[in-house]
Structure 1
Amino acid sequence: MKYREVARKLKALGCQELPRRGGGSHRKWLNPNTGQASALPDWGSRDLKIGTLRSALRQLGIDWDVFNNT
């Protein structure tokens, strides 16, 4: 799954992308419902590794099944 698809699903679940403070290929996300944050790599057209994505979702407090069904 590409970063753009993940970002669309996170926004649908109520998460917010935090403003960038500098360069780099990672973007921070905040789940206002839980107050938890996580960083996701933005690799453009490359797919994110499934373990990286699942770990970020766990840090944000989002269940994998809920994310997949969005």
Structure 2
Amino acid sequence: MSVLPQVSGARLVHALQKAGFIIKRQHGSHVILGHPTNVLLRAVVPVHGSKPVKPGTLRAILKGIGMTPADLRRWL
């Protein structure tokens, strides 16, 4: 298993947008992204300023959308 990169919520949202996800809505400090062709793929990303997303949260987000840490590094 690859080492997870340390990434802020805003940077993660930007990387997921480059990977094809679109922002559906925002609820407070959480941005909800969806995939335009696969409605089952959804990511909820916490954006708390420049604070990095915790490793367990990042791992759960990536697992939920079927992306590996190596895939994420490619989009960062």
Where on the TM-score scale, by shorter chain, does this alignment land: which range?
0.7 to 0.9
RMSD: 1.6
Measured in 1, the distance between the counterparts of 2:9 and 2:17 equals 12
Is 1:67 paired with 2:72? Answer: yes
Say whether the 8 Å CA contact 2:13–2:45 is kept in structure 1. no
Q: How many positions carry a matched residue from both structures?
A: 68
* Residue matched to 1:25: 29
Of 25-34 and 11-20, more deviation after overlay is shown by 25-34
Amino-acid identity (%):
24
Q: TM-score, normalised by structure 2?
A: 0.74
Q: TM-score, normalised by structure 1?
A: 0.79
- Give the gaps of 5 or more residues in structure 1: none
* Residue matched to 1:15: 21
Q: How many Å apart are 1:58 and its aligned residue?
A: 1.4
Determine which structure has greater relative contact order: mean sequence separation of CA pairs < 8 Å that are 6+ residues apart, divided by chain length: 2
Say whether the 8 Å CA contact 1:57–1:63 is kept in structure 2. yes
4+ aligned runs moved over 6 Å, structure 1:
none
